[in-house]
């Protein structure tokens, strides 16, 4: 993936982080999902007083894309105030696997400028998939 596009996705994720609703963890996260059509959807984490209902930034961004009928995701960037690059949780990796096209790139970053890029398949080797339901 082009360096400029990586930078743009990180910038969008960082901006989206400002909208995080995270009064319980006080840990704001931003994300950006790039679709095959070339659109970029932003997302933030959205928590709830019933903690288990909280939604991660990555899933917010992906669900926004899906709800606009853009169901092929090529890359997801995530930014948090972590010591190293912010790593997506397993639930978000599973959701990425559902909508991935090609070698979905996961771009993990923090506020200090650390960036780690991996293919989804490296982070989640054996997702549960459609075929498993047959
Ligand atoms: N969180 C995300 O939004 N994305 C991640 O990659 C890690 C965790 C959120 C979930 C929760 O709102 C807060 O960060 C603390 O776990």
* pLDDT value of position 43: 98
Helix or strand (DSSP H, E) at 45:
none
Q: Tens of pLDDT along 73-97?
A: 999 999 999 999 999 999 999 999 9
- Residue 81 corresponds to which tokens in the numbers above? 């105030």
Residue 84 has what DSSP assignment? S
Could you tell me if the CB of 24 is within 6 A of ligand 1? no
pTM: 0.97
Q: Tens of pLDDT along 29-61?
A: 999 999 999 999 999 999 999 999 999 999 999
Tell which one of 20, 31, 61, 89 to mutate to probe ligand 1, the residue whose CB is within 8 A of the most ligand atoms.
89
Those residues with Cβ within 8 angstroms of residue 134's Cβ, 6 or more apart along the chain or in another chain: none
Q: Tens of pLDDT along 18-36?
A: 999 999 999 999 999 999 9
Could you tell me if the CB of 45 is within 6 A of ligand 1? yes
- CA nearest neighbour of 62 among 16, 127, 25: 16
């Amino acid at each position: 993936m082009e360096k400029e596009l990586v930078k743009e996705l990180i910038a969008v994720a960082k901006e989206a982080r400002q909208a995080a609703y995270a009064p319980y963890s006080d840990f704001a996260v931003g994300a950006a999902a790039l679709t095959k059509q070339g659109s970029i959807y932003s997302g933030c984490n959205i928590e709830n007083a019933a903690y288990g209902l909280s939604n991660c930034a990555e899933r917010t961004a992906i669900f926004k894309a899906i709800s606009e009928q853009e169901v092929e995701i090529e890359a997801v960037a995530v930014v948090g105030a972590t010591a190293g690059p912010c790593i997506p949780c397993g639930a978000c990796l599973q959701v990425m696997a559902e909508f991935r096209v090609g070698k979905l790139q996961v771009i993990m970053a923090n506020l200090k400028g650390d960036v780690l890029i991996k293919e989804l398949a490296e982070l989640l080797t054996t997702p549960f998939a459609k075929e498993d339901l047959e």
